[in-house]
């Protein structure tokens, strides 16, 4: 009678059982995949470069005072027109605009 050592089919059967890895629960595999996806998404979210800010075109500057207003101001400086002309109306509004814009730059 043959012993278990002499039978080749028994040895293969024993080796086959020992070679198999222990079975993991399927939930652990799903959980590890989800965790990897979350880490990858967080890395992309935090390390992805932000889009460049849109470039604003600077509009060409135009003088605040019209040509006729500048002539009137020059005539006031020369003393040919009374100074009270510049104390009211559009001259007063534009002088306040000039003061406000210069205060904002400080």
Domains of the chain, residue spans? 67-104
Q: pLDDT (tens digit, 0 to 9) for every residue of the chain, 106 residues total?
A: 555 566 555 555 555 555 566 666 778 888 889 999 999 999 888 888 777 777 777 777 777 889 999 999 999 999 999 988 888 888 888 888 888 865 555 4
> For residue 68, what are the CA distances in angstroms to 42, 71, 74, 103?
63, 5, 10, 26
pTM over 0.75: no
Do 74 and 86 meet the contact criterion of CB atoms below 8 Å apart?
no
């Amino acid at each position: 009678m043959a012993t278990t050592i002499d039978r080749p089919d028994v040895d293969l059967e024993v080796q086959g059982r020992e070679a198999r890895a222990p079975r993991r629960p399927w939930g652990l595999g799903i959980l590890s995949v989800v965790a990897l996806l979350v880490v990858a998404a967080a890395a992309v979210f935090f390390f992805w470069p932000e889009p460049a800010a849109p470039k604003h075109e600077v509009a060409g500057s135009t003088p605040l005072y019209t040509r006729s207003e500048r002539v009137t101001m020059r005539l006031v400086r020369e003393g040919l027109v009374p100074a009270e002309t510049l104390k009211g109306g559009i001259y007063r509004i534009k002088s306040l605009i000039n003061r406000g814009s210069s205060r904002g730059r400080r």
